[in-house]
């Protein structure tokens, strides 16, 4: 009888605990929904029909409570509402970095007493660092950098007895640094604020970069002001390490002021003259008709015909024909080396794979639409009434001779592989150089990844992304197989085009050898290998680096030129490596990928391959053959798995390690 009473007691206790646990999780879920409705972003991808939030992307649970909330770079905007964190009392990691959050930190954050890691950098939080934050005594990592925090650095930071990382850089903090006695501190950065005074002795062992951009002095910066009475003053180091002489020398003489004024006036008039000259030149260029075929008037006069309607372009206004149409007007013929000469003009040359599917009458009715301006020139979409569509690229800054141009472009035209955009024909004259390609209806990978971020966007699943990676790798591998000196030279996501079935086609290969240096400086920003000094001379190992950046872009959903990543000197490979090194790898992936739980291992392996390709040292980068083989193995592995469309349950092992 006594044993029965004990059993009943424990049964009631178990039921009570289960109900309490479910109640707490429901409260956590409601808090997350409140956060979602307030700051939006890609939390809209959460499947709110599920009763448990533990399977939502970016949310991790432990013992039926939300313990991890990671939402980095997911377009959160506005202010964090009060009342959310008072329910998320078991949070151990909160990462809201690289968003657009504003206002002050919510006061109920004080309820998260178990918080170990707090990452809020890269937002627009303002006001003073609140005192309630210092009651979170278990913090190990605290990053408030790159915000708009004001006020001083409180001595209450000493409350964080377990703190290992303290980042406060790029804010508007003022005053002196208090005597911080954080025994476990391993990393600190207070650079680029308005701090002054001497650096506390406990912090003088850190690197100088942790303190630059302030008016601080003492080790590891310059020595502080001399107080011995001799009157000499050494001003603390700035990022440039400059020394300011404080005395009468800071006043300019009257002659110097007059010289500055006269020089400024002359400089202003010079700028105005240059501006007027450029405007006149541009105006004359616009008024001049662009005619690449010099077609005779009687050849243009076809009964019942009207000039081609041009969409999004003002080219060819003088004669009523666009560049694309003028190019197409010459395209009456086919076969290898077949050249069409219209009225004695320069000739359009077709390759073996080109075929005649339209005539001059069709071409004269064709419309031309500007697709975009790229590194090597402007691309057009030419649509004929019979339904044929071609892409025409008008090259710029081609400085090589006609003979050299033909030799190089013949090599490009001979490239024949299913993952390359085939070159159908080319046109050369002293004034115009045109290339005619197959048209790719789905546009570029860049547009697909970064274009539409709204509610109507179709998420790119793992199967599509891995197939794009494989197709691109095969195309580049084929190019490299044509000879040790053959490279692409301009690999980036905007040069990976897609068919209707999302098959990848690499474009713009071989064009780096055709253009002059004026097109080179800004080429492939964020993709260029560090050893490349002349973008016209890109090795195969440099191609591998660019492809590695492309893989990281494909997995993270972030472009190398992403505004939230591009602080001075920060690039996508370094950003990915910092996340993998300091935190959990899952945070690096695009949230649209986190729903595919069974392929996380494959995603991590592809991420590692991207890191291997984008290493700083060319000799240890893999070849494109090896890259292709590794991606093929990953794709085969994914096909053997039954893909689970449910969102991934994030691992929280990193949080346990900080206990």
Residues in binding site for ATP: 393
Query: Which among 158, 166, 176 has a CA at the least distance from the CA of 140?
Result: 166
Query: Would you tell me how many other CB atoms lie within 10 Å of the CB of residue 496?
Result: 29
Q: φ, ψ for residue 162 (rounded to 5)? A: -105, 5
Q: Residue 242 burial (CB < 10 Å; 0-12/13-18/19+)?
A: exposed
| Cβ-contact 632, 470 below 8 angstroms | yes
| Dihedral of alpha carbons 498, 499, 501, 505, sign | negative
Q: φ, ψ for residue 370 (rounded to 5)? A: -75, 120
Q: Which of 527-533's residues contact partners 24+ apart within 8 Å by CB, and which partners?
A: 527/491, 527/492, 527/560, 529/618, 530/616, 531/618
Q: Residue 408 burial (CB < 10 Å; 0-12/13-18/19+)?
A: middle
CA distance 441 to 503: 11
CA gyration radius, the chain: 31
Q: φ, ψ for residue 167 (rounded to 5)? A: -115, 120
| Cβ-contact 328, 394 below 8 angstroms | no
> What does 156-195 look like in DSSP terms, one character per residue?
GGGG-TT--EEE--SS--EEPPP----TT--EEE--SSEE
CA distance 373 to 315: 14
Q: How far apart are the first and last CA of the chain?
A: 44
Q: Which residues are annotated as a binding site?
A: 393
CA distance 541 to 658: 39
> Helices 540-556 and 572-582: crossing angle, nearest 10°?
60
């Amino acid at each position: 009888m006594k044993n029965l009473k004990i059993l009943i007691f424990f049964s009631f206790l178990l039921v009570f605990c289960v109900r309490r646990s479910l109640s707490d999780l429901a409260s956590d879920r409601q808090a997350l929904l409140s956060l979602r409705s307030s700051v939006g972003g890609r939390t809209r991808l959460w499947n709110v029909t599920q009763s448990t939030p533990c399977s939502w992307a970016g949310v991790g649970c432990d013992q039926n409570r939300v313990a991890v909330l990671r939402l980095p770079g997911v377009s959160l905007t506005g202010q964090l509402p009060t009342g959310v964190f008072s329910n998320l009392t078991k949070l151990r990691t909160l990462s809201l970095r690289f968003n657009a959050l504003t206002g002050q930190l919510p006061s109920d954050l004080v309820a998260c007493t178990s918080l170990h890691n707090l990452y809020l950098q890269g937002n627009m939080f303002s006001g003073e660092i609140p005192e309630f934050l210092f009651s979170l005594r278990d913090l190990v990592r605290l990053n408030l950098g790159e915000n708009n925090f004001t006020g001083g650095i409180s001595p209450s930071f000493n409350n964080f007895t377990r703190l290992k990382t303290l980042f406060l850089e790029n804010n508007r903090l003022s005053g002196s640094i208090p005597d911080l006695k954080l025994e476990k501190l391993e990393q600190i950065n207070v650079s680029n604020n308005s701090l002054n005074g001497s650096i506390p002795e406990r912090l003088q062992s850190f690197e100088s970069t942790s303190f630059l951009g302030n008016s601080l002095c003492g080790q590891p910066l310059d020595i502080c002001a001399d107080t011995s009475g001799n009157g000499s003053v050494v001003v603390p180091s700035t990022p440039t390490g400059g020394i300011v002489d404080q005395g009468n020398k800071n006043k300019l003489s009257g002659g110097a002021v007059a010289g500055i004024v006269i020089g400024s006036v002359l400089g202003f008039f010079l700028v105005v003259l240059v501006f007027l000259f450029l405007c006149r030149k541009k105006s004359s260029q616009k008024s001049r008709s662009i005619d690449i075929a010099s077609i005779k008037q009687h050849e243009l006069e076809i009964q019942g015909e009207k000039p081609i309607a041009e969409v999004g372009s003002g080219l060819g206004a003088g004669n009523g024909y666009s560049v694309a149409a003028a190019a197409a007007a010459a395209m009456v013929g086919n076969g290898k080396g077949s050249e069409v000469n219209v009225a004695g003009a320069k000739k359009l040359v077709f390759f073996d794979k080109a075929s005649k599917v339209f005539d001059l009458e069709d071409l004269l009715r064709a419309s031309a639409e500007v697709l975009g301006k790229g590194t090597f020139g402007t691309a057009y979409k030419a649509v004929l009434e019979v339904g044929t569509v071609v892409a025409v690229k008008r090259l710029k800054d081609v400085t090589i001779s006609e003979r050299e141009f033909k030799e190089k472009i013949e090599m490009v035209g001979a490239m024949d592989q299913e993952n390359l955009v085939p070159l159908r024909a080319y046109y050369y004259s002293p004034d115009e150089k045109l290339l005619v390609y197959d048209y790719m209806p789905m546009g570029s990978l860049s547009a697909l990844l970064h274009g539409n971020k709204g509610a109507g966007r179709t998420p790119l699943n793992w199967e599509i992304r891995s197939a794009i990676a494989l197709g691109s790798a095969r195309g580049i591998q084929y190019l490299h197989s044509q000879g040790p000196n053959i490279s692409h030279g301009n690999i980036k996501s905007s040069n990976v085009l897609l068919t209707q079935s999302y098959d990848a086609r690499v474009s713009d290969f071989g064009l780096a050898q055709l253009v002059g240096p004026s097109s080179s400086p800004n080429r492939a920003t964020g993709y260029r290998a560090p050893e490349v000094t002349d973008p016209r001379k890109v090795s195969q190992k440099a191609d591998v680096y660019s492809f590695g950046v492309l893989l990281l872009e494909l997995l993270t959903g972030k472009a190398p030129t992403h505004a939230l990543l591009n602080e001075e000197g920060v690039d996508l490979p370094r950003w990915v490596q910092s996340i993998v090194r300091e935190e959990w790898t899952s945070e690096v992936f695009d949230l649209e990928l986190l729903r595919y739980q069974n392929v996380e291992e494959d995603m991590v392996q592809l991420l590692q391959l991207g890191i291997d390709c984008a290493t700083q040292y060319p000799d240890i980068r893999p070849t494109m053959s090896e890259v292709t083989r590794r991606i093929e193995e990953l794709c085969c592995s994914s096909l053997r798995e039954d893909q689970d469309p449910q969102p991934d349950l994030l691992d929280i092992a990193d949080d346990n390690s900080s206990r």
